[in-house]
Amino acid sequence: MLNLYSIRVFSVAAVICTILVLPVNYYGRDRKHKNIPFESLEVFTIENVKEGSEWLWAHCLALYIITLTACTLLYFEYKCITNLRLLHITSSQPNPSHFAILVRGIPWSPDQSYCETVKKFFSFYHPSTYLSHQIVYKSGSVQKLKDDAEYMCKMLSSGCGSMEQTCKPSFAQCYFCGGSTNSFKIISNETDSIHGRTGYSDVHLNARKKECAAAFVFFKSRYAALTVAQSLQTSNPMLWVTDLAPEPQDVYWSNLCIPYKQLWIRKITTFAASVTFVLVFLIPVTFAQGLTQLDKLEKMFPFLTGMLQKKFVIQLVTGYLPSVILVLFLYAVPPVVMLFSTMEGCVSRSERKTSACSKFLYFTIWNVFFVNVFAGSVISQLAVFSSLTELPAQLAKAVPAQATYFTTYVLSSGWASLAFEIMQLFPLFCNLFQRFILGYNEDTINGFLTFPYHTEVPRILLFGFLGFTCSILAPLILPFLLFYFVLAYLVYRNQILNVYIKKYDSGGQLWPIAHNTTVLSLLVAQVIALGVFGIKQSPVASGFTFPLLICTVLFHQYCRQRFLPIFKNNATQVLIDMDRRDERCGRMEQIYEQLTSAYCQFSSSNQSECFSSQGEREDVRTPQDMEKANEMTEDISWPPVIHSFDKPVKGGK
């Protein structure tokens, strides 16, 4: 949706600016022009328009057309995505998250466990709507060992053909020591296995000791869950904190055990760390932009004077090299912002990616646009932000001078990123390493890739930001941007359909970020245009820009009031209609049975460790499922007991 919106908007912008703005820029001064291929790019920018020109109305008209087109399409896109979100809620299968809430800040009691505390609280204060609950447990080292052992069994069974196969001698040598390799045989059904000694009840007891002060509470209707989630449970806001539960596949379990009282400290710490990271990142950005100033380079490095006189070297150092250096440094940012978002205590994977997306977006806009603009053109002015009234004029002077750099950045970052996206180099190297170095036969990477929204969405929005701000100042950037958006649409469509795996659905939670960024781009473009018209001494164009700013802000506020609440909360009307529909169809009992097994904290093979609160230690599975699970645990011992190493491995593995 975002790519299609960008294609529509910048198609109109490219046509308008090519027909209306570009000729005015090119013939803005009385000068003798060379052949177009030999002209410098500054000739096609607004810098070439003389002061007091009567043709600046063309730039103002183009700005009006672009803003009107962007806002109109943005409104319909917002409306369409809102309808899709409502359709996703109403027409999908019964979603367990609509009947569940997440409770944190459960008070500790020395006389009873968290499980009993939750049951007593909600049975007393919400007796008519409370259904059951599930406590969150600390996933400790035992669970990790079990997962690792099961993974080893899976890999060994795939490497040997079957668990019961006896391996034959092989003349292959070990990868490391060069000696002959020996196999081993996994023997199950041992009465003295670790699982048999542990006992099923001990697993329950151990899990109960590792309860967290968080739980998923289930209710008999969607409306009841929504009401409880949005209300204050006690007079102490730090206790019994309720929120809408994320979808089962979307839960980020490791953060649920974070004490609720620590969250505000974590957010402040993360904010301080983000600001520090931005300040540290100014060093490579300033270094990259310092390459665009040849006079300073010649003073700092006199031995480069002769080399910097060559035209090819000048184009390489000032045009291409700074953007490449910045792109390389930016590749280190996504893991850092994802770490910051994890430290904040996000309870869902979609919330974590949304937070990382916002951080990476503002980080790239700040460093790629603002820092580059002022570091490249106003680097010697220490008081550039001394007065907000001078900011439009400073941007008006700096942005056109950096138009060449922004165009090169689109080529080096945008087009190259699409090529890397198609090739999938990192998963390819990981796969080759596992196959040829570690000797794995299975493709462990396949099925674990999810679309990197936290990196790709900010990249598209950044290019949209550059397109809006440079549209009337340097129109030559628009064809390159338009080509990028068309190519990105084809690439991302193929990747989403054929490469990436969809593990959860965020319900369009990223669109408000896209809307806010687009409106911010329009406002920055209008502020820069206001400064340019003031420098070019065009009071008429400046006067017509003020109403455009006000109308854009009003449009943004209207969209916030009209659409944003639907993305923040579920509508009561919709949930009540869904409850009544399920009651008429007699599906409520079936939904209640599915709720107890929906939020299983452990892996599918260990779902017997997920608990419900309808009994003292009642399992989330039915008694029939428990009997099957007991039969499976009797047939397969955990961990696998290795008894013999006397026969070589087949194939030398």
> Is residue 516 situated within a structural domain?
yes
pLDDT (0 to 100) of residue 3: 86
Domain of residue 147: give its range. 141-200+639-652
Same domain for 71 and 161? no
pLDDT (0 to 100) of residue 292: 59
Give the tokens for residue 81.
Answer: 């995505």
Same domain for 151 and 86? no
pLDDT (0 to 100) of residue 605: 40
At residue 545, what are phi and psi to the nearest 5 degrees? -80, -30
Q: What residues contact 621, with CB distance under 8 A and at least 6 apart?
A: 597, 607, 608, 629
> Is residue 250 situated within a structural domain?
no
Q: What is the pLDDT of residues 227-274, one digit of tens each?
A: 999 999 999 999 999 999 999 999 999 899 899 999 999 999 999 999
> Is residue 562 situated within a structural domain?
yes
Alpha-carbon 494 to chain mean position? 19
pLDDT (0 to 100) of residue 291: 62
Same domain for 181 and 65? no
Torsion of CA 559, 565, 568, 572, to 10 degrees: -150
Same domain for 441 and 563? yes
pLDDT (0 to 100) of residue 287: 72
Percent of the chain surpassing pLDDT 90: 38
DSSP state of 466: H
pLDDT (0 to 100) of residue 379: 45
pLDDT (0 to 100) of residue 183: 41
Helix (H) or strand (E) run with residue 216 in it = strand 211-219
Same domain for 392 and 472? yes
568, 589, 610 - which closes a domain:
568
Same domain for 88 and 157? no
pLDDT (0 to 100) of residue 103: 95
Same domain for 362 and 454? yes
Between CA 597 and CA 589 the distance in angstroms is 14
Same domain for 147 and 86? no
Same domain for 460 and 378? yes
Q: What is the pLDDT of residues 90-118, one digit of tens each?
A: 876 788 999 999 999 999 888 888 999 99
At residue 183, what are phi and psi to the nearest 5 degrees? -100, 175
Same domain for 555 and 408? yes
pLDDT (0 to 100) of residue 646: 38
Between CA 383 and CA 377 the distance in angstroms is 13
Is the separation of the CB atoms in 370 and 385 below 8 Å? no
> Is residue 113 situated within a structural domain?
no
* Burial of 454 from C-beta contacts in 10 A (0-12 / 13-18 / 19+): buried
Query: Residues 216, 587, 81, CA angle at the centre, nearest 5°?
Result: 70
pLDDT (0 to 100) of residue 378: 42
* Burial of 231 from C-beta contacts in 10 A (0-12 / 13-18 / 19+): exposed
pLDDT (0 to 100) of residue 575: 93
Same domain for 84 and 171? no
Question: Could you report the average pLDDT of every consecutive run of 10 residues in the chain (653 residues)?
Answer: 90 93 78 62 77 85 95 95 90 86 92 90 94 84 56 61 44 41 42 41 57 92 94 93 92 91 93 91 75 60 62 63 78 91 92 94 89 60 53 77 82 83 80 76 62 91 93 90 93 88 86 95 93 86 92 96 92 92 90 86 50 38 40 36 36 38
> Is residue 302 situated within a structural domain?
no
> Is residue 485 situated within a structural domain?
yes
Q: What is the pLDDT of residues 344-401, one digit of tens each?
A: 999 999 999 999 999 999 999 988 888 877 764 444 444 455 555 667 777 777 888 7
Between CA 507 and CA 526 the distance in angstroms is 32
* Burial of 548 from C-beta contacts in 10 A (0-12 / 13-18 / 19+): buried
> Is residue 580 situated within a structural domain?
no
pLDDT (0 to 100) of residue 634: 38
Helices (H), ranges, 501-568? 511-535, 539-562, 564-568
pLDDT (0 to 100) of residue 199: 44
**Pair type for strands 241-244 and 641-647:** unpaired
568, 593, 625 - which closes a domain:
568
**Pair type for strands 211-219 and 100-104:** antiparallel
| Own/partner long-range contacts of 109-117 (Cβ < 8 Å, ≥24 apart) | 113/208, 113/211, 114/211, 114/212, 114/213, 114/215, 115/208, 115/211, 115/215, 115/611, 115/613
Total domain count, the chain: 2
Q: Which amino acid is at 177?
A: C
Q: Which amino acid is at 320?
A: Y
Neighbours of 545 (CB within 10 A): 23
Instruction: Give the number of residues written for the chain.
Output: 653
Same domain for 66 and 145? no
Between CA 535 and CA 340 the distance in angstroms is 42
> Is residue 410 situated within a structural domain?
yes
pLDDT (0 to 100) of residue 451: 86
Residue 356 CA: distances (Å) to CA of 32, 64, 252, 293, 561: 51, 33, 14, 34, 25
549, 568, 587 - which closes a domain:
568
